[in-house]
Chains A and B, each alone.
Chain A
């Protein structure tokens, strides 16, 4: 079955510290992978995506993620966290083709808090 697991429900980091949010997926074919961020009262905003090619992808706001096929992982990283990064982060896998095309399967999310 297709699924996305984000093992950490809540993470707290100090401002300026590095960040890694974990994501593991289960999917029967080559996946499209995404990270979205959701701030209170805001819609989901795409941070970055992986379709193919270079397994290290760069996104907006200084975020990056690395696709590791052998580990079925797509972890999100940022070298130095800012207070404005506090939000909920969702990893998602998208179907590549077929009659399930267009469906995104989301993880349950990781809430990030940033300490001053």
Chain B
């Protein structure tokens, strides 16, 4: 079946602009996660959704970052007033349930470059 998909694959924007990154999880997966991977680093947790609600948003770096999952499927990560330090690969993952079966399937990522 289809895996996790993310669009766009690449996004170049200017400092101060607003961007939206989209994630389509595997069908039937109720849990969805966003991570950020900077060059030479491991992925860093941002936010976790169980269904429509954000169960853990402790990884969001500041209030410029926001994510939604209004119908419990597709999720959008929104970044306001982008800064050069936001440049990274943003990864989305989904799993069948929450922590009990915690095997997460990752998408290919969106590479965000802020000029």
Contact = CB atoms under 8 A, between A and B. Distances in A.
B108 interface: yes
Residue of B59, B102, B109 with most chain A CB atoms under a 10 A cut-off: B102
Interface in B69-115: 91, 93, 95, 98-100, 102-109
A44 B56 contact: no
A113 to B, nearest CB: 15
B88 to A, nearest CB: 14
Given A106-B43, A108-B42, A42 B95 contact: no
Given A44-B91, A44-B106, A49-B103, A103 B59 contact: yes
Contact of A43 (B31, B100, B107): B107
B12 interface: no
A72 B21 CA distance: 36
Interface size grouping (class) on chain B: 20 to 34
A104 interface: yes
B95 A102 contact: yes
A43 B109 contact: yes
B46 to A, nearest CB: 10
A101 B55 contact: yes
Contact of A102 (B33, B44, B105): B33
A99 B41 contact: no
Given A43-B106, A49-B103, A96-B99, A101 B42 contact: no
A109 B95 contact: no
Interface string A94-116: 11111111111111110000000
B42 A106 contact: yes
B45 A103 contact: yes
A22 B29 CA distance: 31
A104 B56 contact: no
Given A43-B4, A108-B41, A102 B103 contact: no
